[in-house]
Amino acid sequence: MQIRDNAAASLASHPVSSGVAGRNDGPSFQDVLAQLNDYTGSNPGQGMFNSILAQLGITPQEYAQMTPQERAKIEEKIHELMKKEMQAQMQQQNQSMQLTQMQQTGTQTGTQSDTSSHKRGTIDFAV
């Protein structure tokens, strides 16, 4: 991914200081970033899969060590959770769209009534 490569190149040319000169007590930022990328996966689908695994209390390493039968059960649970999540997102989008439509309709109705009231109060005199 180009963004990640650009960020890595930028970090390599500008090392992050730990705040204490000459002292390095833990993993570097790049090490932590690599671990995060490994954990979340390289694509959004894998990231979502790993996120749901975490919700179930399972690490990717534990999942990899499971028997095929155990993995099949976990995959079924993950599929169900993903389906529920997608349904919830679709419902939220529908509600948002309905609210937007109601607001637009209300704005148009208000504009029409304002315009018609102005017309009623106007009297033209021909001279």
- Rounded to whole angstroms, the Cα distance separating 123 from 33 reads 73
Q: Two tokens at 59? A: 């690490």
- pLDDT < 50 positions in the chain: 1-20, 117
**pLDDT for 5:** 46
Instruction: State pTM to two decimals.
Output: 0.45
**pLDDT for 32:** 83
**pLDDT for 24:** 64
**pLDDT for 110:** 57
Task: Count the Cβ atoms, other than its own, within 10 Å of residue 53.
Answer: 18
**HSE-CB for 3 with a 13 A CA cutoff:** 2
- Rounded to whole angstroms, the Cα distance separating 45 from 3 reads 18
Strands (E) in the chain, as ranges, are: none
